[in-house]
Amino acid sequence: MAVVVVEKNINASVDKVFASWTEEFASIYKFNPNLNSSHLLGATKEGGKKGSTRQCDLNDGKNWLRERVLDYVKNEKLVIDIYESSMPIKTNVITFHFKSMGINKTRLTMVSDFELKIGIIGKMMAPLLKMKFKPMLKTMLDGNANYVESGIMVNPDLKAA
């Protein structure tokens, strides 16, 4: 398994930051510049709860991810599993840690623990992919910070699928 860790200080309460990831679970496209769209899957009626599932369509126009919430502790932790993807990802469990740093300051840490489908070749490629994933994950956290702090979507023309 390969691990990528990114962190971001956000000028907003931990309640507000946590809600942007859970209460707006279907709408991650609002702040993730790597996506064209996102939407809930199956019988999921309310996002962000344990077992909620969504699909995220990447902005390359061809790749997608299906994710489910494995666990969460309100205002502390959110665990998301990428359980299916058009990319050669065997597993990818992402854990978000939320830490209040004061009334309007939150430290968000994102840990992506992934393994590629392509066996030994995947293990050899993992360091290269870590270098590619890290800037993408940082961009997502930057987009989240901007959205939570100012309410501005990364691409206001996008809509939920």
CATH code for the domain in which residue 11 is found = 3.30.530.20
pLDDT of residue 161: 47
**Which pLDDT band holds residue 77 (cuts at 50, 70, 90)?**
very high
Locate 15 and state its tokens. 């309640």
pLDDT of residue 46: 73
Does 109 map to a domain? yes
Number of domains the chain contains: 1
Does 159 map to a domain? no
**How much is the average pLDDT of 10-37?**
94
Q: Is a pLDDT exceeding 70 seen at residue 158?
A: no
Nearest-angstrom CA–CA distance, 93 and 53: 14
Does 125 map to a domain? yes
Does 131 map to a domain? yes
Does 128 or 143 have the greater pLDDT score?
143
Paired residues of 10 in beta bridges? 106
Does 82 map to a domain? yes
CB-CB contact of 12 with 141 (8 Å): no
Q: Is a pLDDT exceeding 60 seen at residue 122?
A: no
Does 155 map to a domain? no
pLDDT of residue 119: 64
Does 12 map to a domain? yes
Does 51 map to a domain? yes
Residue 87: strand, helix, or coil: coil
Q: Is a pLDDT exceeding 80 seen at residue 83?
A: yes
CB-CB contact of 12 with 148 (8 Å): yes
pLDDT of residue 126: 59
- Name 152's Cβ contacts closer than 8 Å, sequence gap at least 6: 146
What does the pLDDT look like over 63-75, one tens digit per residue? 999 999 999 999 9
pLDDT of residue 22: 94
Q: Which amino acid is at 119?
A: G
Domain that holds residue 97: 2-150
